[in-house]
Amino acid sequence: MDVAVGRGFQILAHAGSSPFPGRISHKTAFGATKTNWLVEIGSSSHHLRVVVRAQNRPTWLPGLDPPPYLDGTLAGDFGFDPLGLGEDPESLKWYVQAELVHARFAMAGVAGILATDLLRITGISHLPVWYEAGATKFDFASTRTLVIIQLLLMGFVETKRYMDFRNPGSQAKEGSFFGLEAALEGIEPGYPGGPLLNPLGLAKDIKNAQEWKLKEIKNGRLAMVAMLGIFVQANVTHVGPIDNLIEHLSNPWHKTIIQTLAGSGS
């Protein structure tokens, strides 16, 4: 019988014969610790053993009770789901994949924006500011042609990714990807491998690569927040992030986000 008795605790009451009360602790995924306290009540012939189970794991808000469907086994699970979007197990699997893709695009986007901004400001290359790059005309192809090609290529890749999500391993079968299956050897949905997508051979044993998964999702979430900040900065200041940084460093006490937002509203 399990009885919830408070935040992070459970009492398990049942008949038993263990003569030694005490504490048992063990580690779970991502450093979470479960502690079982055994307390026995009654005579030697008939007694009740009470196990108080405390689960201590990081949550996005200290002291918060994480939802029961977020048990700490997912990479980057800190119990954050205020809208209850992950209550359905199938939906939760898809949200995990969606977050991975958004995180990776955000990391690539932040790196691309900062790199091109540095090249532009230092004068190494005459590149447009990032939010005007989409309007740039290229001599080798028209904008319409590039958009169509991108839609076709991205559509193909995303379709393959979705098919692998629905039927894990199906897209790694021989003949399913122009004979390049070995070079794109999938490890599990959301974690492709092979020499093309994992040239350094990191986390080959993806089932036991919890630390790598956690690092990736943390960096990806930071990149998504950074992209939001870059969007807001561009809308308010009409310059790139490196320009904003240089202006702030030129007068750190008077060129801050507060002065910038106050000036934009006047």
3-state secondary structure (DSSP) of residue 232: helix
| Residues facing residue 37 across a β-bridge | 23, 52
Amino acid occupying residue 98: A
Task: Assess contact for 69 and 86: CB atoms under 8 A.
Answer: yes
Query: How many residues in the chain?
Result: 266
Residue numbers belonging to the annotated binding site: 99, 102, 104, 147, 184, 215-216, 219, 221, 233, 248
Residue numbers belonging to the annotated binding site for chlorophyll b: 104, 147, 184
Contacts within 8 Å (CB) and 24+ apart, 55-63: 55/8, 55/28, 56/8, 56/32, 57/28, 57/30, 57/31, 57/32, 57/33, 58/30, 58/31, 58/32, 63/7
Residue numbers belonging to the annotated binding site for chlorophyll a: 99, 102, 215-216, 219, 221, 233, 248
Give every CB contact of residue 131 below 8 A, 6+ residues apart in sequence.
Answer: 234
Q: Classify each residue of 214-249 as buried b or exposed e, where b means 16 or more C-beta atoms within 10 Å of its C-beta.
A: bebbeebbebbebbeebeebbeebebbbbbbeeebe
Strand (E) positions, the chain? 2-6, 9-15, 22-27, 33-42, 47-56, 186-188, 191-192
* CA 244 – CA 250 distance, rounded (Å): 10
